[in-house]
Amino acid sequence: MKTIDELLSEGVAGKRVFVRADLNVPLDGTTITDDGRIRAVLPTVKALAEAGARVVVASHLGRPKGAPDPAFSLAPAAARLGELLGADVAFAEDTVGPSAESVVAALADGGVAVIENLRFNAGETAKDDAERAAFADRLAGLADVYVGDGFGAVHRKHASVFDLPKKLPHYAGYLIATEVGVLKKLTDDVQRPYVVALGGAKVSDKLAVIDQLLGKADRLLIGGGMAYTFLKAKGHEVGISLLQEDQIPAVKEYIERAEKSGVELVLPVDVLVSTEFPDLKTKAPAHPATVAADAIPADQEGLDIGPETRKLYASKLADAATVFWNGPMGVFEHPDYAEGTKAVAQALVDAPGFTVVGGGDSAAAVRTLGFDENAFGHISTGGGASLEYLEGKTLPGLAALED
């Protein structure tokens, strides 16, 4: 895989460089609530602009239905990129139409432009290879060189991620090079003890990675909504907690495998419960009760790990040489259910080894809860991509860059 350093050494002054970034930031209307993914691509964009390239930044945002939708416009992300760069960033109001063509044509050496949401064009996500390739051909008309730096999208076989690199000289940006280097530390040359903390809503989203980790990790800590399927598989009442009944057989098998292989599988010993889900807008007090994990009342819902589980998980992380964490321990968006996620984050900060926060909600949580990003070894920009890499899957966006 060629890197941006090789591209810069070849010279980029005057060349149009298409940077496939991941500017898929959370929005409250037009206000960005977490700009982490924009900041993550800054080193690549800055280096190219300072070397005299004409930088064309492209990304998706949300899941529009293959047509323009103002709710998913990249305009706020373009404005924020300009603020962070301390320079004007031009914005094209389409992807491959007249606006994009004129904005790119007007770029001076060192200039930066953002084109509109790639998913406003149905060709970006098309299952049909010819339709995707046709859109990639039009995108290729905007550039001379391709730089892949949208790690959060490399597990998608989309036109700008998979097809476009094949049509232009292609290189990996700084972010992708960093992310891949980190993931290799979690798969190829792991320092032990290796502890993995998994949370989030659905156990089905994590089954494949658990399958792989049962042969690699020393300990697996389970929290979040997915924990209740594990507790149910152990024969415990989980009340009205989030539960995937159809996954219980697979979870039972993994519990047995963990015991046989010597992997320590750690489940909550107590949880915070309530009869209703908290109001995340008003943050009104929820007044949860704490109960043992094997004694959840039938009319109650588990919404966070309890105080004893927080201590237990912190103790299981205390000597870790390598940690991977993906998924919050509870409904961290509400202050009454944030302590479990906060405790795991603090345990990663305190751990002596290399700590990786695996993107998605986990990355948002550490920022929302006020942690210093530099206190972690690495905060990934791609939760789904990280998990699929750990599952051993081939990621289309990385494969395209390696050709």
Catalytic residue positions, numbered: 37, 202, 360, 384
Residue tagged 């939760």 (tokens): 383
Buried b (16+ CB within 10 A) or exposed e, 6-17: ebeeeebeebbb
CB 19 within 8 A of CB 57: yes
Residues 160, 151: Cα–Cα separation, whole Å: 12
Ranges of beta strands (E only) in 155-312 are 170-172, 194-198, 219-222, 264-266, 270-274, 289-292, 301-305
CA 9 to chain CA centroid, Å, is 31
CA-to-CA dists, residue 339 to 285, 303, 369, angstroms? 14, 11, 10
CB 159 within 8 A of CB 126: yes
CA 163 to chain CA centroid, Å, is 22
CB count, 10 Å around CB of 199?
Answer: 26
Which H or E run contains 50?
helix 36-50
CB 361 within 8 A of CB 327: yes
Nearest alpha-carbon partner for 7 in 52, 41, 42: 52
CB 159 within 8 A of CB 148: no
What residue type is assigned to position 234 of the chain? Answer: K
Residues 52, 85: Cα–Cα separation, whole Å: 15
Q: What are phi and psi of 58, to 5 degrees?
A: -135, 150
CB 271 within 8 A of CB 291: yes
CA 305 to chain CA centroid, Å, is 23
Residues 204, 396: Cα–Cα separation, whole Å: 22
* Neighbour-count burial of 280, counting CB atoms closer than 10 A to its CB (0-12 exposed, 13-18 middle, 19+ buried): exposed
Residues 341, 361: Cα–Cα separation, whole Å: 10
Residues 1, 147: Cα–Cα separation, whole Å: 11
